[in-house]
Amino acid sequence: MSLFQLHTADSAPDGSKALLADGQKRMGFLPNLYAGLAESPAALQAYFDLSAALAKTQLMPAQQQVVLLITSVENGCTYCVAAHSMIARQMAKVDPAVVDALREQRPIPDPKLEALAQFTRRVVQQRGWLDDAAVQAFLDAGYSRANVLDVILGVTMKTLSNYANHLLQTPLDAAFEAERWEKTGE
C-alpha cells in the first residue's frame, strides 16, 4: 500500500490543478503517473517540461521511445514499460517487433536503433560514466554529439518517472493494461 494518493483535479494541490487538466486533455484521460506526481507541482511540471524538451531534440519519435523504453526496462518500472509500449506502438508507430525486443531485452534487427538501445542501456547501467569508445561507437552508428545529450535528457525524464512510480506504487491504468510488463531476472 502506498503512502501517497493519486490526485484528481479536485484533490490536487493548487499548483498541480491546471497541470493535471492539461495532462488529461493531452492523453484523453488522467494517467495515474500524473495523478501521483501532482503531490509536488514542481515534480509534475518538471516531468512535463522534460517531455516537451525531449520532443524538441534531434531524435525522431521512434528513437525517443527506444530511449524511454530501455531506461524503463533497465530501471524495472512496470508502469512506464507498459505506458511507453502502448505509446510506441500506437502513437510513434514503432515496429511491434522492435517494441517486443526492447521489452524482452533482445537485440533489435535495425542496426541504428540497436546502437541507440545499447548506448542508452550503457548510460543507465553505468550512470553516465561511459568511456570514449562507447561514445565513439554511438557516433559511428550515425548519431551526433547532440544525440548523446538527447539520450541523457530522455534518461533523466524516465528516471524521474521510474523512481516516482517505484515509491508511489503507481497502479497501471486500464489504457496500458494490454501492455502489462513484469520485470524478470535479478
Residue-wise pLDDT tens digits, 11-53: 999 999 999 999 999 999 999 999 999 999 999 999 999 999 9
Domain with CATH 1.20.1290.10 in the chain: 59-179
The C-alpha cell 542496426 sits at 111
- Average per-residue pLDDT for the chain: 96
CA separation for the pair 85, 80 (Å, rounded): 8
Q: Read off the pLDDT band of 106 (50, 70, 90).
A: very high
CB 162 within 8 A of CB 168: no
Architecture of the domain spanning 7-56: Up-down Bundle (1.20)
Measured from the Cβ of residue 174, the count of other Cβ atoms closer than 10 Å reads: 9
59-179: CATH, from 1.20.1290.10, 3.40.50.970, 1.10.357.10, 3.40.50.720: 1.20.1290.10
Buried b (16+ CB within 10 A) or exposed e, 120-147: bbbbbeeeeebeeeebebbbebebeeeb
Question: Of the candidates 57, 89, 82, 86, which has an alpha carbon nearest to the alpha carbon of residue 155?
Answer: 57
- Does the structure show a pLDDT above 70 at 124? yes
For 44-79, how does the pLDDT look when each residue is reduced to its tens digit (9 = 90+)?
Answer: 999 999 999 999 999 999 999 999 999 999 999 999
Domain with CATH 1.20.5.810 in the chain: 7-56
- pTM of the full structure: 0.95
Cell of 123: 548510460
Q: Read off the pLDDT band of 184 (50, 70, 90).
A: confident
